[in-house]
Structure 1
Amino acid sequence: MSVIAGIGWHMVGAASAAAFYAPYKKVQGWSWELMWSIGGVFSWVLMPWLVTMMLVPNLGEFYSHIPNSTFAMLIFCGAMWGIGNITYGLTMRYLGMSMGIGIAIGLNLAVGTLLPPFLKGQLGALIESAGGSLTMIGIAVALVGIAVVAYAGNEKEKVMGERAEEFNLKKGIILAIICGIFSAGFAFGLNAAGPIKAQSEALGINYLYVAMPAYGFIMGGGAIVNFLFCAYNILHKKEISVRHDLTLGRSLLARNLLFTAMGGIMWYLQFFFYGWGEASVPARLDYINWMLHMSCYVLFGGIIGLIMAEWKGVGTRPVRILIAGLLVIIGAANIVGLGMAQ
């Protein structure tokens, strides 16, 4: 296990998460619900089970050693994560991108990082240890960095004249709180996947992949929530017509399918490499994985935004603030790394 490798793999996964929506932007003529559902088939169903089948030769025998309560908890945590996905989009709708990201991601990072050790009764001991105190400082610094990035985004929105579709501060904050708590469901799911990880180790699966056989159940819980949400919209919104979307020209259908598949696979890959990062971090510091993932997600989101010229024409001040926030997040990752090394 290597602290540097763990941080590196979390960065790779976060970069994939930050860039996954780029292929979706190439989709033409499809409703968001159809695009999201088809992409979800790849990210939440096909990829996790394909990887699991490659790792486990006999699925029935493998899972027969796992308590049913573990499966139920994984699906429940995945459903939590699915609710977080949906409310994340709604948070952007009512608060705008900058404020929504600042509140939702900040809460997500704090809840997903601190709640698991708190529930285990380990938080006090972690804070009192030398390494633990450093990682807690790193978490605080990361939250500051996210707040600075959110402020930069707010300045950008002012310059560009952008505004949330239906700005509603009260509704947006409530949704952001729900999103921040529920999106951490994936971290809770991995925390509850101990029996599956142990069975993977007993089977001789490489330590980088021990969490992968749990993904199908966690993501399956999220898939159920997302598919139901999309189905509800398709059935109740008259402007959405799946029949029309699927009668586009053959070449456009093939193009849309290709881009949705790419986006879905990139979304899955964030958790594939998250698994590598988690496996590389010492077990005594497993609570820090979610912090690394979410802070790197904001970091690469900002970098990709700069690369794709999303900040073009906003002036130097918002860009300077953004870069300052990104540097703070990089500093937070280094502080956490120092804490992990002790």
Structure 2
Amino acid sequence: MSAAAWGGLAMVLVAGALAGNCMLPMKFTRRWHWENTWLVFSLVSLVVLPWALALLLAGNVMEVYRGLSPVEWLLPLALGAGWGIAQVLFGLSIARLGLALGCAIIVGLGSLFGTLVPLFFKNREVLGTARGALILCGLAVMVAGIVVSAQAGRRREQGQGKSSGRGYRMALALAVLCGLMAPMVNYSFAFGQDIADRAMRLGVPATHAGYAVWPVGLAGGLIPNLVYSFYLLFRNRTWSVFHGPWAADAGMAALMGVFWMGAMSIYGVASVYLGALGTSVGWGLFQIFNIMAANVSGVLTGEWRNAPAGALRTLYAGLVLLACATVILAAGNR
């Protein structure tokens, strides 16, 4: 690989580490309920930071937007909204199906289609080449690693006496739908490149032009997240929680937003360095590092304490498969 591609790979590694740990601060909230934290997280990650980065790094971003046709901004907006719906479905399906199987379906489908769809629509000619064969092989190993990691999670839950959830058939349908919609945040970025192209025509460097895409796509994702947060706040009558001491929990929620948007923005820059396949192979690598970081973080923070030895061995096997998938996908991106 070229020096630029190696740099892109390093950035995807950092992005994956941030994404894999973006929910970690939620463990340290004390008073706030899930919906209080999620509301602030959504506002920081989907409004404040995308706009701040765009205004700081994407030149005269309002001039970029003024010159767009309706299709050029409606497509990434709609795809972002689909991803926002997937965020809501994720919580619902995990609650009913269990973390291990739910994540295997959702993350597996999201990683697979998030890689294949941009590849098929934007670089279809690669599929019939040796590079394409390597990429497909890497995807197969990646999915195997995700499934094995999920199996480790199931064994951990069984060993710790945790339930796998209820309403299996409905939960399974929700998980499949969520997995199909989850990569829409990547579609929004990949198919929002007309916005980045216009930014570059106005003098914005290629590595910064992607910052102009995020406010549009993530605005679509904001709506479902806000609606669901407001619904829970009213249903659970947890608005009053905001009236008490708030600084520590708000800081944790904001830190979640910094981690998540930091991950997405670094991934966006990395996709440029990775070349023509940046939004396909790059997405697969991003998801691999995301899963690996989340699992390692789980071990370090005690989630696997008292887990059976067999569950840990299965987890390590899954991580080895994901590491192998990284090597194969990186080779396919040469």
| TM bucket normalised to smaller | over 0.9
1:284-323 equivalence runs, <5 A? 284=277, 286-323=279-316
Measured after TM superposition, the shift of residue 141 of structure 1 is 0.5
Would you say the 8 A contact 2:85–2:224 is kept in 1?
A: yes
Partner residue of 2:321?
328
What SS class does the counterpart of residue 25 from structure 1 fall into? helix
Give the partner amino acid of 2:204.
Answer: I
Give the partner amino acid of 2:213.
Answer: A
Give the partner amino acid of 1:222.
Answer: G
CA distance in 2, matches of 1:326, 1:171: 30
Q: List structure 1 segments (4+ residues) > 6 angstroms apart after TM superposition.
A: none
Partner residue of 1:33?
35
Partner residue of 2:134?
134
2:4 to 2, 5, 28: 2
CA distance in 2, matches of 1:199, 1:139: 32
Partner residue of 1:205?
204
Would you say the 8 A contact 1:31–1:240 is kept in 2?
A: no
Partner residue of 1:151?
151
CA distance in 2, matches of 1:157, 1:246: 33
Partner residue of 1:53?
55
Would you say the 8 A contact 1:39–1:263 is kept in 2?
A: yes
CA distance in 1, matches of 2:78, 2:195: 16
Q: Does 1:221 align with 2:217?
A: no
CA RMSD of aligned residues (A): 1.6
1:170-319 equivalence runs, <5 A? 170-235=169-234, 237=235, 239-242=236-239, 244-248=240-244, 252-284=245-277, 286-319=279-312
Measured after TM superposition, the shift of residue 127 of structure 1 is 2.3
1:26-175 equivalence runs, <5 A? 26-119=28-121, 122-123=123-124, 125-164=125-164, 166-175=165-174
Unaligned 5+ segments in structure 2 are none
Shift in CA distance, 275/233, structure 1 to aligned 2, threshold 3 Å: same
TM-score, normalised via structure 1 length: 0.92
TM-score, normalised via structure 2 length: 0.95
CA distance in 1, matches of 2:41, 2:4: 33
Measured after TM superposition, the shift of residue 118 of structure 1 is 3.1
CA distance in 1, matches of 2:226, 2:278: 34
Equivalenced residue count is 332
Shift in CA distance, 217/147, structure 1 to aligned 2, threshold 3 Å: same
Would you say the 8 A contact 2:16–2:263 is kept in 1?
A: yes
Give the partner amino acid of 1:128.
Answer: G
Measured after TM superposition, the shift of residue 285 of structure 1 is 5.3
Measured after TM superposition, the shift of residue 209 of structure 1 is 1.9
Residues 178-220 of structure 1: per-residue CA shift (max 9 Å, x gap): 1111111111111211211112222333332221111001111
CA distance in 2, matches of 1:272, 1:56: 12
Residues 91-121 of structure 1: per-residue CA shift (max 9 Å, x gap): 211111111111110011111111233345x
Would you say the 8 A contact 2:93–2:172 is kept in 1?
A: yes
CA distance in 2, matches of 1:34, 1:284: 38
Residues 243-287 of structure 1: per-residue CA shift (max 9 Å, x gap): x21221xxx311121111111111111101111221111114542
Shift in CA distance, 150/40, structure 1 to aligned 2, threshold 3 Å: same
Measured after TM superposition, the shift of residue 82 of structure 1 is 0.3
